[in-house]
Structure 1
Amino acid sequence: MGTKGQDQGATLRSRSDMAAAARIVVKVGSSSLTSVAGGISEEALWKLVDVLALRQKTGTEIILVSSGAISAGLLPLGLARRPKDLATQQAAASVGQGLLMAHYNQAFSAHGVTASQVLLTAEDLTRRHQYVNAHRALERLLHLGVVPIVNENDTVATHEIRFGDNDRLAALVAHLVKADALVLLSDVDSLYDGPPSEGATRISHVDSPEDLEGIVIGSAGKAGVGTGGMATKVQAAMIAAETGIPALVTSTEHAGAALAGDDVGTWFGINGNKRPVRMLWLAHLADIRGRLVLDDGAVRAVGERHKSLLPAGITAVTGDFDAGDAVEISDARGNVFAHGLVNYRHSDLPQMLGRSTKALAKELGREFEREVVHVDDLVLLGH
């Protein structure tokens, strides 16, 4: 059974410390699990499970975030490539998720390890009640010695409320379970300073965003079965590192070496502190529906003194949004410095600009006395 519970394991300062990690989130992409003929490669999946089960038996708690449900559903539905429309993606995920879990259950059972299915939506990690439930469920599974296999609930997720790829989902899950490390696996062994086929140099470690300046990072590969590519892995690794969790990006082939702390992949060292997962979502993943432009006084109040945003400081509004939607917040020169959840529809705001909440309440009613964005629903970018 797991022993970590709520306690944090050793702080990992370098990849060599991976051998001491007590709780690790591992993410594997569709391209690493897909056979040449289509569908799931049993050989690839079993090799990965062999590595994870061996590490789990040493006492390390493993949470596996696995893509592959849509890919697994392509062959049974007679589809040659990943569909572009959401409805067919959902149908493929519905067919494929059960097939994927059947493979995982069989492979883990061969090692005497129990695996479980955990399907999450963005709301499960951004709404307080659902977040608490997700955290409690995963903690209990780990305590019972189970390997939770997490995937986005593609069958019911919509364009507006989805993570978009499992790399970023894995970063948020790592934060949710207070993991010691995040390992992102794909078919590329490391981040390079150019195309690997053209003799590029491996980037061994990244300590800050400045280390990646000038580097062109690739998107999804040619296979057409995944949604991420190196760009989303780097973004997910940076999200984790900026919130106190180191990350390692490497290939599935090097999974065992990565967990052992060998010199493989690209290591993203810690360069920030943990913050609420809801704020991570708002900063990195929220569907931005509009923009609020502030005068200099409001920029200082919100950006420096961490105050709520009031209508008096807003000079312009763009976009089409409802109350509760995410918007970006910029200064008069167009520099976006914050994201927030707005309390009004876009059509309500023009009549409110530059006016005090007291005057608005007197003229329009008490419901207009609220902040436009409350400080608890606001995240400063780069913090």
Structure 2
Amino acid sequence: MRGADTFTESLFSMRKLDDFVPKSHPLRSIRVMANEALAKMDRLFAGMYEADLKGGRPSIAPEKLLRAMLIQVLYSIRSERQLMEQVQYNLLFRWFIGLAMDDEVWVPTVFTKNRERLIKHDAVIEFFNEVVAIAEKKCLLSGEHFSVDGTLIQAWAGHKSFVRKGKDSDDQGSDGGSADDFKGEKRSNETHESRTDPDARLYRKGKTASELRYIGHTLTDNRHGLVVNARVTRADGHAERDAAKIMIDDARQAADDASAEITLGADKGYDAQEFIEACQQMKVAPHVAQNTSGRRSSVPDTIASSVGYAISQQKRKLIEQGFGWAKTVGRMRQVMVRGLKKVDQLFVLNMAAYNLVRMRSLAQVRP
């Protein structure tokens, strides 16, 4: 018999949000790890909101803000307005963030302003560090063998915003790279800057076209390809090697055994004499791919012929998975925020989310 097309609701419901989330849903284990990391940040959160104790209405809980930001990355949601719209009706999102069925959804502008407070106090960086600490606790890191690389991030700014420094767009002449007619004009980062994003730099790499960009850098552990350090810098020809030296030095200082052999895998772009010497001074074995195209490699042959070098060259390719995930799922191919600080925080949040997803997957295959 054909059923009637009717819609009736019960006056009362005894079900909880948790009842609507399947027991095997991947967000369950991710939420457990995220909550573990957030619990370690209680002191930071208390310091952020000390001023609110003197008066004013209660602000959004920072734990809920960070979980909402994670959902935005994990589900490729392009804006705060769209995120708040989906939280209104998506029970899975409400459950993950920590909102009850009857809780009001935040106004998008309020969410944005509260998120800026997290950025100001580097809460996202602290969250990333706590996620890495969880990975170390689960014995997912070697702590000795690493890989480094960088990737281009397109800025939220166009060529027409790239004008001569110190002048308004209305004052630009044909020799100043006008906002309306810039083709054929000589422009550089020394004489021009973007009006909409002054931190972005005109940059090209390889066969790519010149665009306003940043560079995202990551240091990954070779055991499972988890990201242990991440940062964003302005785009220039030395940024990748400079960031790599800072990140591997941090890893060297954090090593449990000061005498342990630390290795660093990298591609040919890092085969420069000053970088190889800097690694050796830090007691780091530079397992950098040799660049012998019309030149002599700076990597010693004794290192390049070792068994560990071959393993590092194989393992370093895992770093591309994090970049690919961030650019497709995390929408980092072209960021929708402006300014070095905000781009850096968004990139670090993406790497934290990537680690959580990867750790969840590793938990499924490890005994």
TM-score, normalization by structure 1: 0.24
TM-score, normalization by structure 2: 0.25
The structure with the largest alpha-carbon Rg is 2
